[in-house]
Amino acid sequence: MSVIDIGQSVVLGIVEGLTEFLPVSSTGHLKITEGLLGIPVGDQAVVGFTAVIQVGAIAAVLVYFFRDIARFAAAWGRGLVSAEARRERDYKFAWWVIAATVPIVVAGLLFQSLVKGPLASLWVVAVSLIAGSAVMWAADRFGTGKRGEADAALPDAMLVGGSQILALLFPGFSRSGATISTGLLRGLDRVAATRLSFFLSIPALTGAGLYELKDALGPGLDPIPLLVGTVVSFAVAYASIAWLLKFVARHTFTAFVVYRVIAGAVLLVLLGTGALHA
């Protein structure tokens, strides 16, 4: 019997698609949803399932930003054979994305047992939701927002990429929340910080999904619910990306900060009263 049925996969796909790129923590919301649905959060097949449906969300980024990605890839290819092309900003940016992915890959390999063990607790999710809110508030409050996407440089990419480690170690902190906040603290405007967050998510999330595929297709999980969850995740994530880019152009992240604090507090109450198990 499958650990996750089709109905549950639809719900999880919607949650993943909605929360992967919004700064509210997809991992945290997936774990909460799995707990409410009675799905064993610590089961390796479930861990694999959540990682693979993230590929649906990352596919949405690939489609949404296809022209940008194709431009970066073409510039990178030209730069490999032409010294003149290596002076192009797009060529440099492609290398920045590669370099900025290294810290999260190393951290993922070093701390895998912690991430899948003690740090997978819903208690960690609850505290991280609230702690991440404080970081987002500070970034929104003190970030100057005077630098556009064209002003971003290698140090920005490395710091933003490295901040993904916070979300890896503390589910609930939010990968997008950490990366966007770092971009804001570096002085980037909200749109530039959000777009940089999207581009840097592609290698990390794709790698995580492919790595976990062996567990997702192992015993205890039917591939049909996995496919359904991934397709739903793609469709919802695509809509979420379009909405978020329009939202950040005109609004601060205050609404997300308030939501995260409330969600974290409610989760602490549920865990403390025994209504939900960690």
Yes or no: say if 261 and 42 are a contact pair by the CB < 8 Å rule: no
What whole-number distance in Å separates Cα of residue 54 and Cα of residue 48?
A: 10
How far the first Cα of the chain sits from its last, in Å, is 24
User: Model's pTM, two decimal places?
Assistant: 0.87
pLDDT at 213: 67
Q: Which residue bears the tokens 């009263």?
A: 273
What whole-number distance in Å separates Cα of residue 76 and Cα of residue 47?
A: 34
Which pair of tokens denotes residue 121? 């607790």
pLDDT at 91: 95
Give how far Cα 63 sits from Cα of 60, 212, 234, Å.
5, 22, 10
pLDDT at 43: 72
DSSP of 31-97? HHHHHHTT--TT-HHHHHHHHHHHHHHHHHHHHHTHHHHHHHHHHHHHHHH-TTGGGSHHHHHHHHH
In the chain, what are the domain boundaries? 6-273
Sign of the alpha-carbon dihedral angle for 129, 131, 134, 135? negative
Closest CA to 30 of 17, 18, 12, 43: 12
pLDDT at 116: 75
Which pair of tokens denotes residue 261? 């604090």
pLDDT at 221: 64
Q: Would you write out the chain's pLDDT as a tens digit for each of its 278 residues? A: 467 889 999 999 999 999 988 998 887 788 788 888 888 776 777 877 887 888 888 899 999 999 999 999 999 999 999 999 999 999 999 999 999 999 999 998 898 888 877 887 889 989 999 999 999 999 999 999 999 999 999 999 999 999 999 988 998 888 999 999 999 999 999 999 999 999 998 888 788 777 766 656 656 567 888 899 999 999 999 999 999 999 999 999 999 999 999 999 998 998 899 877 76
